Amino acid sequence: MTKTLVIGAGGVGSVAVHKMAMLPDIFTDITLASRRQFKCDEIAGSVLERTGVSIKTARIDADDADATARLIQACGAKLVVNLALPYQDLSIMDACLMAGADYLDTANYEPPEEAKFEYSWQWAYQEKFAKQGLMALLGSGFDPGVTNVFTAYTKKYLIADMRTLDILDCNGGDHGQHFATNFNPEINIREVTAPSRHWQDKKWIETPALTTKQNFDFPEVGARNMYLMYHEELESLVTHFPEIERARFWMTFGDAYLKHLEVLQNVGMTSIEPVIYEGQEIIPLQFLKAVLPNPGDLGKTTTGKTCIGTIISGSDNGQDKTAYIYNICDHEACFKEVGSQAVSYTTGVPAMIGAAMMLGGKWRGEGVFNMEQFDPDPFMDMLNQHGLPWQYVMLEKPLAF
């Protein structure tokens, strides 16, 4: 009997528990806990209706490590899958250490008061997890997550000596709203408005947010403008593959999204500095989140596809090569299957697969790990079997930009 506790009943948590319930041999007992229990109960109702599987629900404030440790013990969980927000990563890791459970997440820890996007805080838990014989798997979403596994696969089978890495994240979907974010608006806007950073000649180069643009013709989506951004997997990938000389992350944005974002930024609505409003301290970005559409509700109206992948150049057996591995995911198909749009789906499915790797012992270690440190094969197989099929093409030339 393997007991799993999933924390966070948002868009990603919902997909993950639906997909776990579809694999009862691996996930024999699932509890979903979150800040508001009614959200867990709604998801549990949908899981029962779609899969016939009953999952348990609980209320938890995961900022409280002691209470979280008590919940882990009460439900006997061997593994905690953290799909709450990056702010809760450390308190949930502490709770896992107290209760003796393994840990998995999809986003690196963020202190609420500054946007940093770095692994230092979580990598500092290496010894604590190793000492207790426990495992923490960081960033088991799509990006970070699948993109790390694609890189490990490229190294293993296609290009032994990798020199450049480009991660290309395209959401070619249309949700029919003037302005909405694909996942938690607060985290998404913090990420998009942060200065861009990329790895070049063994150092980080910083440029202002959203200033470097390229047009790329994405398979099954078409030509889209994509912008250079910082993304956390760049840090772990250049650490674990030190041969990579240049690593960049690109994300597509439509003109309407950028226009709204520019205005919101200009009027101060994206700030994480507290302001006093009618005697009360509020954080503008958190207020903005409250008035924006809930990404979990966008599934009903979203059409189109996502295309996320890695383009890696280097040499193999003395020959220069470039490989493009990608997944295409259809928003409407995801909604039909689990009631969520493709951005939640492409994150929730890899969270389930990472959990399956750990529970089944295919990925095992003591300490804190990033995805690229394990054998990509069993993970890549499960992507094909559970809704995120991938393919690769060898390109004739490296990217021209």
The conformation of residue 148, written as its DSSP 8-state character, comes to: H
299 binds ligand NDP (CB under 6 A): no
For ligand NDP, which is the closer residue by CB, 149 or 159?
Answer: 149
CB of 51 to ligand NDP, least distance (A): 19
Q: Give the integer Cα–Cα distance in Å for 112 and 123.
A: 18
Which of 10, 284, 354, 376 binds ligand NDP (CB under 6 A)? It is 10
Structure tokens belonging to residue 241: 């593959």
296 binds ligand NDP (CB under 6 A): yes
Structure tokens belonging to residue 345: 């789906």
HSE at residue 61, side-chain half, CA atoms within 13 A, is: 3
Task: Annotate each residue in 121-160 with x if it binds ligand NDP (CB under 6 A) or - if it does not, as one string.
Answer: ------------------x-xxxxx---------------
In sequence order, the 6+-apart residues with CB closer than 8 A to the CB of 291 are: none
Structure tokens belonging to residue 319: 């020959």
342 binds ligand NDP (CB under 6 A): no
5 binds ligand NDP (CB under 6 A): no
For ligand NDP, which is the closer residue by CB, 140 or 164?
Answer: 140
The site that binds ligand NDP (CB under 6 A) totals a number of residues, namely 34
Which of 4, 6, 11, 340 binds ligand NDP (CB under 6 A)? It is 11
Q: H helices of 117-254, where?
A: 120-123, 126-131, 146-153, 185-193, 233-240
Tell me the DSSP string of 204-233.
Answer: EEEE-TT--EEEEEETTTEEEEEEEE--TH
Q: Give the integer Cα–Cα distance in Å for 290 and 350.
A: 28
CA 80 to chain CA mean position, Å: 16
Please identify, among the stretches 2-10, 113-121, 298-306, 311-319, the one whose residues bind ligand NDP according to the rule CB under 6 A: 2-10
Please identify, among the stretches 82-90, 111-119, 240-248, 264-272, the one whose residues bind ligand NDP according to the rule CB under 6 A: 82-90
CB of 57 to ligand NDP, least distance (A): 12
Binding footprint of ligand NDP on the chain (CB under 6 A): 7-13, 34-36, 39, 60-63, 83-86, 88, 106-107, 139, 141-145, 183-184, 187, 295-296, 347
